[in-house]
Amino acid sequence: MAESSRLWRRCWKRHIVRQLKQRDRAQKALFLDLVQAYNKLLEKSNLDNFIAKLQTKSLDNQMGLPPASSTQESSDGAFDAVLDSAQRLVKRPSDPMVQLESINELAYRIYEWNILLKAKDAALEEQRGRLASLRGQVSDLEAKHRRLQGWVEERSRQNAAIKEGYDALRELYRRQDGEFRQEAERGLELLKQLMRQKVEAAEIENERIERAKQARLSKELKKATKTVVRIKTEPNEEKLDKQKMATQDVPEEENGEKLLRRPFRSASATSMTLTRYVDVFKGLLDFRLKRGNSISSMSTDRYCSIPCCVAACLPSTVSDIQEAHVSEINAIRFSPNSSMLATGGTDRLIRLWNVVGGRLENMQTLEGANGSITSVEFDPSGCHVLAATYNNAAQLWKLGDCQFKEILTGHTDKVTAAKFRSTQCQAVTGSRDRTVKEWDLGKGACSRTINVFSYCNDLVCCDPILISGHHDKTIRFWDSRAPRCTQVIPVEGKVTSLSISQDQMHLLSCSRDNALKVIDLRMHNIRQVFRVEGFKCSSDGTKAVFSPDKSYALVGSANGTLFLWNIETGKLETSLPGVHRSSVNAVAWIPSGTYIGSVDRSKTVVLWR
């Protein structure tokens, strides 16, 4: 019984072992195919992961992305360890139970790693999508780079074209600048030629007049030699009746001859000789020639009566105020007979005003100036106006004519002053071209040019002396009979204006050191200096004047106030503020002494009394 049970147990063990071996063989065969397929899958997965890692690493290096996490590296290492253990288990058989447990564990791990593989596949797809997105961005950046490169090339071509155009324009500018200089030189030469022609024409006209004069003189002399003059001595009571007929030529018959009663009555009538006739006719002809050369179209040079000022009136109130011009006013001047006022400004117009009853009535506008008016001046007769302009010339108008009568060209820069001399046939101008010119208005030509070393801002005339104020802080004296400067008086500032007294004994100067100076022309020294707080010389064209009786000095300031000093006491007599809204450029005192005028930069002219 015991033996049979022992045998049965042996058989049972062999049966169990045999079944286990069969199951092992059957399962091994099944799992062997699975393991082989899994090994191939793992090999392929490892290769793909390695390639993806290389690509991701290179892409991350190019794009500056961070490297993969350490968790992924550790999981990859664990997966490799499981793969190695599975391969060892398959290759090295052992106890069936151990193998079964190992196979179950391996199957579970395969399941886990299958899930992990799917996650890896998803991550791989995500990386591939990211790679595709980055490749798209790279493509966009490359396209943008190509567009920018094309834009740079286009800009380079445009810059090259612009540079070529600039070079061409610069070459054209150089050529035209050379042509302009040549034309300027040609214009200057034509101007000189014109001046020479005018001088020649004037000389020819003078020669013609002289020849006509000589012809008329010869004719008169021949007629005088053929005429018999008989003089009868008459009683004193009949002389008065005969003198009434002295200007009439009465033909008489005596012994068959035609007699002519002498048109002159004098104490020396009985001693009339041929020489006396020659002197008389020559005097008459000289008077007619002088009258013919006058710029006036009148039969004689009739001068208006000039009012005499015994004592100038101190201005205190505004008599009239007008907006005279459309822009800044630079000059103001009263006529010699005190009935008219002239103003000139940057609008290139000269306006004439009637001074009637303390009011300004617009009388006439003189047009034709080619530049801003810097100064205006009436001739001694009050029939002509001479103006200095910024177009390098001085222009002459006759009252009643709207167009200018004569233009005096020859300066090369702005003309700052233009004045008549003692007659209306002569004038003098000063300019910023460092010259002073004397003009013969009858011929319309320059008779003398004085070269100075500085700008001339203003000048006055007292025959035969010419006085000019300059930018180099000096006052110069010129004699018409001498070629050079006769006297120089230095002052402390740039001279802006000069005014000479009626007796021509004193000179008033205004300068940029904010002072007025009275100069004694007999001693050629500075007699008085006027300064006051608040007075400021506003420009190089600020004008100051004497009163007609030489008792006061008047000037306008940059703040619109008028200051008036007493010459005798040397003290400030009065000031007139609050009327002008801007700096006063010029002032003028009427010759009768009853009114003063002032103009400013805000287009206003004010008449004071």
Name 488's Cβ contacts closer than 8 Å, sequence gap at least 6: 474, 475, 476, 477
Distance CA(109)–CA(509), nearest Å, equals 119
Tell me the pLDDT tens digit for each residue of 177-202.
888 888 988 888 888 888 888 888 88
Distance CA(131)–CA(125), nearest Å, equals 9
- What pTM did the predictor assign? 0.53
Pair 494, 511: CB distance under 8 Å: yes
Distance CA(275)–CA(57), nearest Å, equals 135
- Residue 148's pLDDT is 94
Tell me the pLDDT tens digit for each residue of 312-349.
888 889 999 999 999 999 999 999 998 999 999 999 99
Distance CA(490)–CA(476), nearest Å, equals 9
Segments of the chain with pLDDT less than 70: 1, 30-34, 45-104, 227-310
Distance CA(586)–CA(581), nearest Å, equals 14
Homologous superfamily (CATH) for 327-548+586-593:
YVTN repeat-like/Quinoprotein amine dehydrogenase (2.130.10.10)
Pair 434, 425: CB distance under 8 Å: no
Mean pLDDT estimate for the chain: 79
- Residue 417's pLDDT is 96
Give me the residue spans of the domains in the chain. Answer: 327-548+586-593
Q: Running DSSP on this structure, what letter comes out for residue 306?
A: P
Identity of residue 173: Y
- Residue 589's pLDDT is 95
* CA distances to 337, 351, 359, 411, 475 from 354, in Å: 11, 10, 8, 33, 35
